[in-house]
Amino acid sequence: MKKYIILPTYNEAENLSRLVREISSLNIPDLNIIAVDDGSPDGTGQIADRLAKEFPLIVIHRQGKQGLGSACITGFKKALEFGADIVCQMDADFSHDPHDLPRLLERIDRDYDFVIGSRRVIGGNIKGWSRYRNIQSILAMSFARAMLGLKTRDITAGYRCLKATILKDIDFQTIKANGYAFQEELIYRSEKKGYSIAEVPVTFIDRKFGQSKLGIKDIIEFFMTVFRLRLKK
């Protein structure tokens, strides 16, 4: 089965080379990488181009910072063009351990449609967050899950693998969330269409290298997305 992993990148010069090498060292059959770079001023795009000469890496260059959701959709579309059967997504800053990827793919092989690397199930963990931030996250996700009737516990997890059939079934034009809220909207749409979702416990390490990109605009969009989807129910 053809597998593609999407790496949305913006100012990941410190991380990308090592991450691509670690993913490749896993020797997962038929796995290709797609880096979607939003014109990173630190030269991430140029580093990606050099890596593409050595590894099974496709690089998509975009102008300006257009958002996580937009980057993921761009990567998803490219993966589908290449005939992907399974598409994965992960952060490019080592918040997600690439060595967890085989466990996510193994659950997909056990007839799940969508597998999430979850911080919020037994065995999952977060390192580097204050107690205050962790409580905020729990309350926000609990609110969203209650409002939208979601079964998935970690609705904002960015470490995920899903079958291409889901992406073919979802009209990307109707997805409005462009930042981190894209994560919850994709889960919402997948659940409502009846796809099976599994959560695999992982340890999330907060922004191991570089600077965090989560801002107040992302938090506002998260709640706006909840209300928008709720009104459509």
Nearest to 4 by CA among 96, 101, 100, 119: 101
CA gap 80, 69 in Å, rounded: 16
pLDDT of residue 233: 67
- pLDDT at residue 135 tops 90: yes
Encoding tokens for residue 155?
């609705």
pTM over 0.95: no
Domains and CATH numbers, the chain: 3-232 (3.90.550.10)
Per-residue pLDDT for 184 more than 80? Answer: yes
pLDDT at 29: 97
More confident residue, 212 or 47: 47
Q: For 100-133, write each residue's pLDDT tens digit.
A: 999 999 999 888 999 999 999 999 999 999 999 8
Residue 168's pLDDT band, with cuts at 50, 70 and 90, is: very high
Paired tokens of 16: 């990308």
Judged against a pLDDT cut of 70, whether residue 213 lies above it is answered with no
DSSP strand pairing (125-127 vs 197-201): unpaired
Question: Percent of the chain having pLDDT more than 90?
Answer: 85
Q: How many residues belong to the chain?
A: 233
Tell me the per-residue pLDDT of 15-49, one tens digit each, with 9 for 90 and over.
999 999 999 999 999 999 999 999 999 999 999 99
Q: CA 78 to CA 81: how far, in whole Å? A: 5
In this predicted model, which residue has the larger pLDDT, 171 or 121? 121
| pLDDT of amino acid 207 | 66
Per DSSP, which regions of 22-65 are E strands?
31-37, 57-61
Q: What share of the chain is helix, strand, coil (3-state, %, to 5)?
A: 40, 20, 40
What is the average pLDDT across 62-91?
96
